[in-house]
Chain A
Amino acid sequence: MEGLVNIFVRSVFIDNMVFAYFLGMCSYLAVSKTVSTANGLGIAVIFVLGITVPVNYLIENYFLSAGAMAWLGPGFEAVDLSFLSFIMFIAVIASMVQLVEMTVEKFAPALYSSLGIFLPLIAVNCAILGGSLFMQEREYANIAEAASFGLGSGVGFYLAIVGIAAIREKIRYSNVPGPLRGLGITFIVTGLMGIAFMSFMGIKL
């Protein structure tokens, strides 16, 4: 249990997807104009990451990695399908995003229209695929650890995107120099937020 909490806290604050790895930048920059839409996208990302990472964990450990299919019988021990991992991960992510999209369209049409193209684009959000690939690389011991990592990464992304959305709402009326307006100042704010998030780097859990 303690290990799960550690992984969760680690992936929210220390290995934050946005500020430690700078993944998922496109939707982070594009959908952070207002807090309410950022909120919606953040929750969608938490959901997608929280589902796809454990599902991909199962696929990885029972089908793809070398010798993973030994449970099927003695003839399958030598099978190594790890070259398929990218395509399998993306397939899972895409189907999950499809599900989220249909849910949002049905139950929150206002949010659906404000998220626009960025909702289906979660499928190619690097933070999501990054989550699955980190899961593969870090070799979590069981599915609970993978799920806790996925949820934690999602929450980390959520914090980042609502944080910058609130800042962008605040600086909307600031007298920012012309050339920096819009994306320029957002990049600078992101860098400054990265400095603030460095406060957690180095904590050993």
Chain B
Amino acid sequence: MKLLRKQIDKIKPHFQKGGRFEMLHSTFDAFETFLFVPDKVTSKGAHIRDSIDMKRTMAVVVAAMVPTLLFGMWNVGHQHFIATGIDAGFWQEFMHGLIRVMPIVVVSYVSGLAVEFIFAQIRGHEVNEGFLVTGMLIPLIVPVDVPLWMVAVATVFAVIIGKEVFGGTGMNILNPALTARAFLFFAYPTYMSGDFVWISGLLKGEGIVDGFSGATPLANASLGNIEAIPSSMAMFIGTIPGSIGETSTVAILIGALILWFTGVGSVKIMASVFVGGLVMGGILNIFAVNPFMEIPAWEHLIMGGFAFGAVYMATDPVTATQTERGKYIYGFLVGFLAILIRVLNPAYPEGMMLAILFMNVFAPLIDHNVMQANIKRRLKRAAAGTNK
């Protein structure tokens, strides 16, 4: 550790003002603060002595995503060997998944961080840490067979249009990871939906067992194949086809607990998303006219990307509402709309992505109204106080 510090201190002057590599100072700064907690302190005003800066906050979120990533890797292999009918051990399944998933993670990080560094150099600000989370989220919400160049294009699009044009981390309107997912979904629909994309090797048709269907539970549900939906236990544990990280509700709940106890993710949003989903599911149960609408409300919560979106995407502190009361409204509407789009819109098999994007757009409006209501209430209270 000390050696590393020494090395960094040795080359540091080159990157500071007047140094040889002055133009690369933001790149240097990014690596330095990534390795060591910065020692800068403010000289006057309020002092918060805490090492939890943005980089560490983001690292917590990434840590919370590790269970879903590991489970996703195993599940990719598991599904692959079920589809091909080969009996494989745990490690064989995991290794297959690792080999399939790692390239997506690497491509997402490399292409996204490249854009981040370029923007930081040109605009002369520090490299934003927000991409640590986005780069991890993107691989988790795409199907495993997605071509790598698509991941790269979508990541670049999301980072530039979704984030950098607004001035970088903390300023964006839409969640960048979801922007990437929506871009892929609308630009290359054949690679993002259907029965063949969710399991590795199925697109190429590598020795598939006869009669095997790679359809996700939601696809089966929307077609009315209720008997083809896996048991609730399988959907809860996550041994089902789906995007890489979204299948296992158990792994997501572990992540949710990490976010909750560290205080990084808003538990208000998570809880109200689930409540909103339950309410909408219940309403659909009451007015059910087809088998999809008859699916029990609670089962919606463990299908598809609902839990994943609720825990990792809806809680994004930048694009969610900032006011405390707004969080309840925002979360509730996300869950409500997700189930509504999922069940009533035949064009999309899953509604979570678009529901969160939709509410991202209206989050500032909710905040505005909550604040105005608060101002009005306090004015009234003040007026009542002075009239006494």
A189 to B173, CA, bound (A): 8
Q: What is the interface size of chain A, counting residues whose CB is below 8 A from a CB of the partner? A: 29
Contact B364 A174 (CB under 8 A): no
Interchain CB contact under 8 A, B367 and A166? yes
Return chain B residues, CB-CB under 8 Å to A78.
Answer: none
CB distance from A8 to the nearest CB of B (A): 16
Whether B368 pairs with A35 at a CB distance below 8 angstroms is yes
Q: Is the CB of A202 within 8 A of B347?
A: yes
B249 at the interface (CB under 8 A from A): no
Contact partners of B166 in chain A: CB under 8 A: 171, 174, 176, 185
Interface size grouping (class) on chain B: 20 to 34
The stretch that binds A, out of B137-145, B273-281, B355-363, is B355-363
A168 to B289, CA, bound (A): 42
Residue on A nearest B322 in the bound complex, by CB: A170
Question: Of the 9-residue stretches B47-55, B71-79, B337-345, which lies at the interface with chain A?
Answer: B337-345
Which stretch in A66-74, A91-99, A120-128, A192-200 binds the other chain? A192-200
Contact across chains for B167 and A192 when beta carbons are under 8 A apart: no
How distant is the Cα of A195 from the Cα of B361 in the complex, in angstroms? 10
Cβ B125 vs Cβ A199 within 8 A? no
> Is B362's CB under 8 angstroms from A163's CB?
yes
Contact between chains at B368 and A169 (CB < 8 Å): yes
CA distance A59 to B365 in the complex (A): 38
Given A171-B166, A175-B125, A188-B165, A35 and B365 touching (CB < 8 A)? yes
Q: Which of A167, A185, A198 contacts B364 (CB 8 A)?
A: A167
The answer to the question of B354 belonging to the interface, with a C-beta cut-off of 8 Å to chain A, is yes
Q: Is the interface of A mostly helix, strand, loop or mixed?
A: helix
B344: nearest chain-A partner, CB-CB: A203
Residue in A closest to B170 when the chains form the complex, CB atoms: A174
Q: Are A197 and B358 in contact (CB under 8 A)?
A: yes
Q: Is the CB of A185 within 8 A of B345?
A: no
B171 touching A167 by the CB < 8 A rule?
Answer: no
Find residues 183-207 in chain B having any chain A CB closer than 8 Å to their own CB.
186
Whether B161 and A188, one on each chain, are in contact in the complex, defined by CB atoms closer than 8 angstroms, is yes
Q: Which of A169, A175, A199 is packed against the most chain B CB atoms within 10 Å?
A: A199
CB distance from B304 to the nearest CB of A (A): 15
A175 vs B119: C-alpha distance when bound (angstroms): 12
B122: min CB distance to chain A, Å: 9
Q: Which residues of A contact B165 (CB under 8 A)?
A: 176-177, 180, 185, 188
Q: Specify which chain A residues have a CB less than 8 angstroms from the CB of B364 in the assembled complex.
A: 163, 166-167, 169-170
Is B380 among interface residues, defined by CB-CB distance under 8 A? Answer: no
For the complex, give the distance between the alpha carbons of A193 and B182 in Å.
12
A13 and chain B: residue at smallest CB distance: B358
Check A202 against B346 for contact (C-beta < 8 Å). Answer: yes
In the assembled complex, the Cα of A169 lies from the Cα of B182 at a distance in Å of 25
In the bound complex, what is the Cα–Cα distance between A167 and B318 (angstroms)? 13
* A142 to B380 CA separation, bound complex (whole angstroms): 46
**Taking the nearest CB of chain B, how far is it from the CB of A200, in angstroms?**
7
Q: Taking the nearest CB of chain B, how far is it from the CB of A58, in angstroms?
A: 34
Cα separation A167 to B337 with both chains bound (whole Å): 21
Q: Answer whether A195 and B171 are a contact pair too, CB < 8 Å, given A166-B367, A166-B368.
A: no
Task: Tell me whether B361 and A193 are in contact (CB under 8 A).
Answer: yes
Whether A138 sits at the interface, judged by CB under 8 Å, is no
Q: Is the CB of B357 within 8 A of A200?
A: no
Q: Once the chains bind, are A177 and B123 in contact (CB under 8 Å)?
A: yes
Is B179 an interface position by the 8 A CB rule?
A: yes
Q: At the interface, yes or no: B351 with Cβ under 8 Å from chain A?
A: yes
With A162-B365, A163-B361, A167-B364 as known contacts, state yes or no: A199 contacts B354, CB within 8 Å.
Answer: yes
B242 at the interface (CB under 8 A from A): no
A200–B368 CB distance below 8 A: no
Provided the pairs A163-B365, A176-B165, A176-B167 are in contact, do residues A196 and B360 lie with their beta carbons within 8 angstroms?
Answer: yes
A73, B380: Cα distance in complex, Å? 63
Question: Which 8 pairs from chain A and chain B are nearest by CB?
Answer: A202-B347, A199-B354, A175-B167, A166-B364, A166-B365, A174-B171, A174-B167, A196-B357
Q: Could you list which residues of chain B lie within 8 angstroms of chain A, going by C-beta atoms? A: 123, 125, 161-162, 164-168, 171, 173-174, 179, 182, 186, 337, 341, 344-348, 351, 354-355, 357-358, 360-362, 364-365, 367-368
- A169-B368, A199-B355 are known contacts; what are 13 more A-B pairs with Cβ within 8 Å? A162-B365, A165-B365, A167-B361, A167-B365, A171-B171, A175-B125, A176-B167, A188-B165, A192-B173, A193-B361, A195-B357, A196-B361, A198-B186
* 27 A-B residue pairs with CB within 8 Å: A35-B365, A163-B361, A163-B365, A166-B362, A167-B365, A170-B364, A175-B168, A176-B167, A177-B123, A177-B167, A188-B161, A189-B173, A195-B174, A195-B357, A196-B357, A196-B361, A197-B358, A199-B337, A199-B341, A199-B345, A199-B354, A199-B355, A199-B358, A201-B347, A202-B347, A202-B348, A203-B345
